Amino acid sequence: MERELAGSLPLLQKRGFMELERYQTSRQKPAAVNLAPLDELQKQLREGGIETVALREIDGERTRLELYRCNTVIWRDMPHEAHVEWQDPPFDIFTRSIFERPAVLLDSFFVARDGDHIVGLSYLLRRPDGDAEVGDTGVLSSHRRRGIARVLKMLVTRWAAQQGIPVVHTDNRADNAGMLAINRELGFQPGEVVIVLEKTMASPTAI
């Protein structure tokens, strides 16, 4: 946590740890969010050729392939350190991680479609205490700044409010200006900043 860093940093640095990234945690009370503009915003997207729908409504083989294609691109697009290697999971493992993972609140899963192509997604994960946390949110770079993420997150928020989920938690890399702006707009209140430190261990050949 950021508030503990000042005390522990000298020791951590002496031990070879370096700061890797920072995450801003935040919490939203879905029932307190003003969702009055949602229907109009959704209509405007529809008029511009973008449908926003519950994943359940369009589930099927083709949708699952589209979801895989979209989500793997979005993962690679999330702000991350240049040296971090990333490997996409195989299709069947991805599919199970969404459709068969108990933590995934499948009814909270909304996607944006441009024709047959999924271009954006957002969903929640269950927490054991009855709260929820944000899963992934993302929009393909070809479709950004059209208000798609805003509408998807509003749909997720409306669902959470209807379910009586008291609090939704999230954390975002502190340099993810877009996601932080949308979350602020949707009532997420900032909490602790989590700092990730890294130490590269010497490889056996280097000793």
Nearest alpha carbon to residue 29 among 186, 148, 196: 186
Residue 70 within binding range of ligand COA, rule CB under 6 A: no
Exactly one of 39, 77, 92, 198 binds ligand COA (CB under 6 A); which one? 77
Residue 186 within binding range of ligand COA, rule CB under 6 A: no
Order the strands of the 104-114 sheet from edge to edge: 50-54, 104-114, 117-126, 132-139, 168-173, 18-28, 189-198
- Nearer of residues 41 and 167 to ligand COA, judged by Cβ: 41
3-state secondary structure of 148: helix
Residue 137 within binding range of ligand COA, rule CB under 6 A: yes
Residue 175 within binding range of ligand COA, rule CB under 6 A: no
The encoded tokens of residue 183 equal 């979350």
- Nearer of residues 113 and 150 to ligand COA, judged by Cβ: 150
What residue spans of the chain are helical by DSSP H? 2-14, 38-47, 55-58, 61-77, 91-99, 148-163, 177-185
DSSP letter, residue 103 = T
Exactly one of 20, 31, 78, 174 binds ligand COA (CB under 6 A); which one? 78
Say if strands 50-54 and 132-139 run parallel, antiparallel, or are unpaired.
unpaired
- Nearer of residues 55 and 139 to ligand COA, judged by Cβ: 139
Exactly one of 40, 145, 203, 206 binds ligand COA (CB under 6 A); which one? 145
| CA neighbours closer than 13 Å in the CB half-sphere of residue 134 | 26
Q: Which stretch binds ligand COA (CB under 6 A): 25-33, 52-60, 97-105, 178-186?
A: 178-186
Question: What is the binding site for ligand COA (CB under 6 A)?
Answer: 74, 77-79, 137-139, 144-150, 172, 176-179, 181-182
